[in-house]
Amino acid sequence: MNRNQNGSGSRKPSGTRTRPLTREEAILAEKRRAEERRRRRETKKLVEKGVAIGIFALIAAAICLIIMFAYIFIDFRSVEKTPDQPVKVTYQKNDTVVLNDEYFDHRNGEYYVSLAKVSELCSFTLHGNSKNMTLTLPDGKSASFDTGTPSVKVGSVYSVLKNKTYFSGGHLFIPVSFFEDMCKGIRCEYDKLGKVKGLNLIFEKDFTFKVLKNEESEAIIYNAPSDSSEKSMFKSDLSDYESYMNPENADEFIALINSSHKLKKDYVPEDLFQISDTIEGLSGEKLRLNAAKALEAMFIEMRAHGFSGVGAVCGYRSYDYQKSLLDNETNALFLQYGDKKKAEELAGSRVFAPGESEHQSGLGVDICNSTLLTEAFSETAEYKWLYSNCADFGFILRYPKDKSDITGKEFMPWHFRYVGRSHAKKIMDEGLCLEEYLEIIG
Ligand SMILES: [Zn+2]
């Protein structure tokens, strides 16, 4: 009683009932406790269920991600396997693009890619024309290419590509090594040994051009020329000759001179200029000013490449002088054969008739390592250099070996004709003779 009075007296207001629990009350209390235990069990079950659902959801998400990555991977694989189909995508990090041979080429031992195509893929800005193209990145960095030269201007620094760029089918093609050597962000993968079907361009990160530092790449950096960057294709400084090699009025120099397009008897060029480098023992040979100065530049460059034993043998010849050459040949052959008609025919195949010779125009020049002009010159390193490089100076090989049926003349590895660089490049690059070229351009 006391315990109850003292123990519950403090909790319960005075005057409330203090007595032992009745049997009914005890049962009720027990029921409440049982109910409480049941509730706790249910809550625990619910929590356990929730955790299970969570784990399940996580596993499902992981499976989804794996499937997604597998899809992307399979997609890339299928792109790589079908290089015949050009893929048009916009530049994305870690993207791979396969170019087919419309935008990809192999020549001069180098792989080339269409600059326009790469720009399109990368959303770069490209502007310019067939002579010069500039690629600009969104951050303003730029690379500028001069068609037909290995020159590239990255920012304000001039550098040299491993090979010359060229223009074909409305596209400027640049050596793939440009991306390997001077850019970061694009990686190139291609089969360097087997038959190449395409080029994989892998966009790895934000694309940028390497800023070339002088100490790193001294050997390949030019001092930026003041005006035209086309000078950078030469070993020597030929900047003073540029306007002669690549004149603005080049069309004045492409006139056809042959047996059906003869020069008049009294035609003498007004601007004849003495040639500087004639072969030993000869002097006083002349050409028209542009041709003479362009030839001078060509010899300067040849000397720089170590070719010393070659020079001009013959430049301008007057109508009368050409006539005397033909007459002398005819007389000599008449003495030999005693047959006037035969002598005339034979002489006509060997010596140009007056009016039919480019030498009278002051634009044709014979270049050789000897005063004796023979086909043997075509076997020399000097000839091979001239053949490969003459167009840069504005000259063409006028009577190529495989064009005799069109030119009407035998192969003359010594006879070069000045037409100016713009025409010369097209003629030599396409392997044409002057007759074919003039037919094409109308
Ligand atoms: Zn000649």
Residue 334 CA to ligand 1 centre (angstroms): 24
Q: For residue 227, what pLDDT band results from cuts at 50, 70 and 90?
A: very low
Residue 96 CA to ligand 1 centre (angstroms): 54
Which of 192, 227, 262 is the last residue in one of the domains?
A: 227
Q: Are residues 272 and 311 in the same domain?
A: yes
Q: Are residues 133 and 196 in the same domain?
A: yes
Query: Do 397 and 385 meet the contact criterion of CB atoms below 8 Å apart?
Result: no
pLDDT tens digits, 254-293: 999 999 999 999 999 999 999 988 887 777 899 999 999 9
| pTM (2 d.p.) | 0.51
Q: Are residues 142 and 254 in the same domain?
A: no
Q: Strand 311-314 vs strand 132-136: parallel, antiparallel, or unpaired?
A: unpaired
Residue 422 CA to ligand 1 centre (angstroms): 22
Which of 227, 245, 269 is the last residue in one of the domains?
A: 227
Q: What is the mean pLDDT of the chain?
A: 79
Query: Do 131 and 161 meet the contact criterion of CB atoms below 8 Å apart?
Result: no
Q: Are residues 165 and 245 in the same domain?
A: no
Q: Are residues 101 and 213 in the same domain?
A: yes
State residue 217 phi and psi, 5-degree precision.
-135, 40
Quote the domain boundaries for residue 401. Answer: 234-317+357-441
State residue 308 phi and psi, 5-degree precision.
-105, -25
What pLDDT does 284 receive?
82
What pLDDT does 78 receive?
38
**Distance of alpha carbon 91 from alpha carbon 124, whole angstroms:** 9
Q: Are residues 299 and 202 in the same domain?
A: no
Q: Are residues 309 and 421 in the same domain?
A: yes
Query: Do 251 and 235 meet the contact criterion of CB atoms below 8 Å apart?
Result: no
Q: Are residues 305 and 200 in the same domain?
A: no
**Distance of alpha carbon 391 from alpha carbon 251, whole angstroms:** 15
Q: What is the CATH number of the domain that holds 273?
A: 3.30.1380.10
Residue 303 CA to ligand 1 centre (angstroms): 22
pLDDT tens digits, 159-183: 777 788 888 877 888 887 787 677 6
Residue 413 CA to ligand 1 centre (angstroms): 9
Q: Are residues 203 and 285 in the same domain?
A: no
Report if residue 54 sits inside a domain: no
Report if residue 38 sits inside a domain: no
Report if residue 59 sits inside a domain: no
End-to-end CA separation in angstroms for the chain: 133
Highest mean pLDDT among 72-76, 91-95, 345-349, 373-377: 373-377
Q: Are residues 151 and 217 in the same domain?
A: yes
Mean local confidence (pLDDT), 102-130: 74
Report if residue 329 sits inside a domain: no
Q: Are residues 124 and 196 in the same domain?
A: yes
Nearest one of 246, 76, 2 to 146, comparing CA atoms = 246
Cα angle for residues 333, 337, 338 (degrees, 5° grid)? 100
Nearest one of 326, 314, 306 to 359, comparing CA atoms = 314
pLDDT tens digits, 306-339: 998 899 999 999 999 999 999 999 999 999 999 9
Query: Do 103 and 171 meet the contact criterion of CB atoms below 8 Å apart?
Result: yes
Q: For residue 9, what pLDDT band results from cuts at 50, 70 and 90?
A: very low
Q: Are residues 218 and 280 in the same domain?
A: no
Lookup result for tokens 């020549």: 107
**Distance of alpha carbon 362 from alpha carbon 368, whole angstroms:** 18
Q: What is the CATH number of the domain that holds 115?
A: 3.30.457.10
Which of 179, 212, 227 is the last residue in one of the domains?
A: 227
Name 259's Cβ contacts closer than 8 Å, sequence gap at least 6. 353, 356, 408
Q: How many domains does the chain have?
A: 2
Report if residue 304 sits inside a domain: yes
Residue 365 CA to ligand 1 centre (angstroms): 6
